Amino acid sequence: MIRSKALIALALVGVCFLPNGPAVLAGSAADIPIPDCEIVPLPPDAPPGLGKLLGEWRGSWQISNLDSTLVVKEILPDQKKAKYLYGWGVCPAYNIMEPGCSEGEAELVLGKKPQIEFVSESGARFRFVLKGDKLKGTRKSKGYVARITMEKAKD
């Protein structure tokens, strides 16, 4: 019984791990409904390196292969919050049948590795940490942790 459950679980996970799998598994960046927006430049007195967070970041969540985009639009003058857009593609294996987008204000944590944190409408907690030229993220929900490495969009 345990072995058959393990095989079923591996089969389901394997569907999302297929390299260059069918487009229905995860949408491309073009399929993620992020509206056009302006990136507000930082004031000259902002801490060095903070501006690296600004802009559009793209990546795919590990295991689910769900494509996602995070746009850090603005760091507010108090430098404690940032405005963002977060968009995602589709992944039928995880019952994500439609792409979507949300926006809001994230908590901004300054330091050697700046980070932003926010909670989605569904209660999932997102945290993104700037590490070099990558944005490393986690999504925590109902005891489950997913990870992502995002890169700055080139276009």
> What pLDDT, in 10s, does the model give residues 79-116?
899 999 999 999 898 888 999 999 999 999 988 889 99
Averaged over 105-129, what is the pLDDT?
A: 93
Q: By percentage, how much of the chain surpasses pLDDT 90?
A: 55
Name residues whose C-beta falls within 8 Å of residue 50's C-beta, 6 or more positions apart in sequence: 42, 75, 79, 110, 114
How far are the Cα atoms of 35, 68, 92 from residue 120, in angstroms, in the given order?
18, 14, 20
**Can you read off the two tokens belonging to residue 88?**
């995602």
pLDDT at 30: 59
The pTM is what?
A: 0.78
> Does the pLDDT value for residue 51 go beyond 90?
no
pLDDT band at 154 (very low <50, low <70, confident <90, very high): confident
Q: Where are the domains of the chain?
A: 2-152
Q: Would you say residue 20 has pLDDT above 80?
A: no
Mean pLDDT, residues 121-147 taken together: 94
Question: In the predicted model, what is the mean pLDDT of residues 55-66?
Answer: 92
The single-letter code of the amino acid at 94 is Y
* CATH superfamily of this structure's domain 2-152: Quinohemoprotein amine dehydrogenase alpha subunit, domain 2 (2.40.128.120)
| Structure-block tokens of residue 1 | 């019984």
With tokens 């300054």, the residue in question is 110
Report the SS3 class of residue 101: strand
Which amino acid, 153? Answer: A
3-state secondary structure of 145: strand
